Amino acid sequence: MPLNLFDTLSRTSRVIAPLDGKTLRFYCCGPTVYGPAHIGNFRTFVAQDVFRRVIEQGGLTTLHVRNLTDVDDKTIRDSQKAGQTLTDFTQHWTTKFHADCAALNLLPPHVEPSAVAHIPHQIRMIEKLIEGGHAYATPDGSVYFKVSSFADYGRLSHLEDRELKLGASSTASATDSDEYTKDSLADFALWKGKKADDGPNHWPSPWGDGRPGWHLECSAMSLEYLGEDFDVHGGGVDLIFPHHENEIAQSCCATHGKFAHHWFHVTHLLVDGGKMSKSLGNLYTLEQLGERGYTPVEVRYVLISGHYRTPLSFTLHSLDSARQALQKLAKFDKALREVTSLSGVISGTTPGPFAGAWETLSDDLNVPGALGDIFGIINKTKPASLTPDEAKVTLEGFHFLLYALGLQLPSLVEEATADVPADIAELAEKRWQAKQSKDWATADVLRKELEAAGWIIKDNKDGYQVLRK
RNA sequence: GGCGAGGUAGCAAAGUGGUAAUGCACUGGUCUGCAAAACCGGUAUGCGCGGGUUCAAUUCCCGCCCUCGCCUCCA
């Protein structure tokens, strides 16, 4: 079943099919490694991961490139604040980012290029742009892209009348000291001449020492690894303008290609009714949620539980809800395994009874709809009444979908009772004895004590279990 | 001001021109000394507001209100 995906440029859903007929090539704007990524950032990366998984489950191969922005205003500023070299500083946050990605079960990109490592590529691209009359150097050693030289500028964002909104921005101003040398306020930097507060962070270029402009990094790296034309380019909606608009301009003017043929943008995660962002101080990281007892798979579940083009409200309650939902999935898995006697990793190759969910997922990555379909099948299926063969087909179809969603089932709560402290075990035993002698009052008091300590008792006919609450 | 997205049950969130998936929460039952767990059920006459089109609109059209995002380096 081919995947239909909404394309920001044409504003329509289009079938995803590789330009070269074999490999789906896509580029994702990666993180700026100057601090911990928050779960809003990860909403985008998780959505891209589901996209890739669905493509691959559909039988296509992919070439997934996601960059690391390890040189820009913020990395330079904060590395100096931290008293570290830019390399040490960005390496630290890159390691952290990778750990979070692994925890969230994100498939690693096939190529993860570093911006710093591709400065020569960026310089070559700037040279081409200058040759073609699309860029110009200024006396301070910077190079700017000449927006007026690209007629299609604004097609992606539909912000075509640049002059109109210049007055509306609170930050843009014709007197910005950084930008006074530009021909037009709309022009953007390809290369930034060295400034005193950049410290040692500058590189040689034909226009003097300096550093690359942010937008150019992605153009240069996608060209290097994916070519002049490639299938899909993705990122958060906030990148549509100016970042992606500028990438299009640079790339189309520097090459003969059309750049990305399909644009995949993920809407923001909301918290407290608004955007989660570092500057607003309302962000959650995976680590912070972990301290509150939430697991990465629960976070992943929440992040995919809303359609990628719809704002999603994040709350701690949604994580609790996700925990219960995952338990329900895990119970279904266990019940099926008992009928089939299968264990270990199940790798389904077809959706089986979950074909409806797979179809839903293939329609613009409708994950919440697919989850609804999956639970619908689960509610109708009685594992115990299936033959081993039927259960096997169901289990494989179930795992086909779980893989596409990247959900790794948690262990069941009732199985997670490895270590019961001695004092708790003693209390539990006392309660059991009280119960055996039908001293209900004492038994109930003891049970309440255990509960207060964070443990619950589950009785059955001939014994009991002590479980973590 | 411009561009874009969204307003569906207590919370979250799908979906459809013919009478509302799903998860959580809540709740009835079975079980239990009572619970918990598990299992079997129940829970929106309603989809921001007002018009219109239609045999029929939450779904299409028009107007309005509200929320959120972007408008030069935020996923």
- Domain of A387: which CATH number? 1.10.730.10
Is residue A275 in some structural domain?
Answer: no
Residue where a domain stops, chosen among A392, A412, A432: A412
Q: Report whether pLDDT(A164) > 60.
A: no
CA A286 – CA A94 distance, rounded (Å): 15
Q: Report whether pLDDT(A461) > 60.
A: yes
Distance of CA A149 to the CA centre of its chain: 35
Which residue reads 């079943």 in tokens? A1
A228/A331 same-domain check: no
Residue A197: CB less than 7 A from any atom in strand B: no
Q: How many domains does chain A have?
A: 3
A152/A90 same-domain check: yes
Residue A380: CB less than 7 A from any atom in strand B: no
- Closest nucleotide to A157: CA versus each C1': B3
**Residue A97, amino acid:** F
What is the structure's pLDDT at A118?
96
CA proximity to A377, closest of A359, A365, A403, A363: A359
CA of A365 to C1' of B4 (A): 20
A83 Ramachandran zone, left/alpha/beta (phi>0; psi -120 to 50): left
**Can you tell me the ipTM of this complex?**
0.94
A66/A174 same-domain check: yes
A179/A314 same-domain check: no
A341/A458 same-domain check: no
A316/A261 same-domain check: no
Residue A25: CB less than 7 A from any atom in strand B: no
Is residue A11 in some structural domain?
Answer: yes
- pLDDT tens across A317-364, in order? 999 999 999 999 999 999 999 899 888 999 889 999 999 999 999 999
- pLDDT tens across A180-221, in order? 567 787 899 999 999 988 999 999 999 999 999 999 999 999
A377/A422 same-domain check: no
Residue A457: CB less than 7 A from any atom in strand B: yes
Alpha helices, H only, A82-153? 86-103, 119-131
Average pLDDT over residues A256-267: 95
Is residue A272 in some structural domain?
Answer: no
What is the domain range of residue A376?
280-412
Is residue A274 in some structural domain?
Answer: no
What is the structure's pLDDT at A415?
57
A289/A358 same-domain check: yes
CA proximity to A339, closest of A377, A379, A391: A391
Residue A17: CB less than 7 A from any atom in strand B: no
CA of A279 to C1' of B64 (A): 34
Is residue A300 in some structural domain?
Answer: yes
Is residue A442 in some structural domain?
Answer: yes
Residue A282: CB less than 7 A from any atom in strand B: no
CATH number of the domain within which A153 lies: 3.40.50.620
Residue A36: CB less than 7 A from any atom in strand B: no
A109/A219 same-domain check: yes
A135/A23 same-domain check: yes
CA of A12 to C1' of B61 (A): 21
Q: How confident is the model at residue A421 (pLDDT cuts 50, 70, 90)?
A: confident
Query: Is the CB of residue A213 less than 8 Å from the CB of residue A191?
Result: yes
A367/A428 same-domain check: no
A131/A208 same-domain check: yes
Average pLDDT over residues A288-306: 94
At residue A245's C-alpha, the angle toward residues A182 and A166, to 5°, is 50
- Closest nucleotide to A269: CA versus each C1': B75
Is residue A258 in some structural domain?
Answer: yes
Average pLDDT over residues A132-151: 93
Is residue A253 in some structural domain?
Answer: yes
**What is the bridge-based pairing of β-strands A23-28 and A61-66?**
parallel
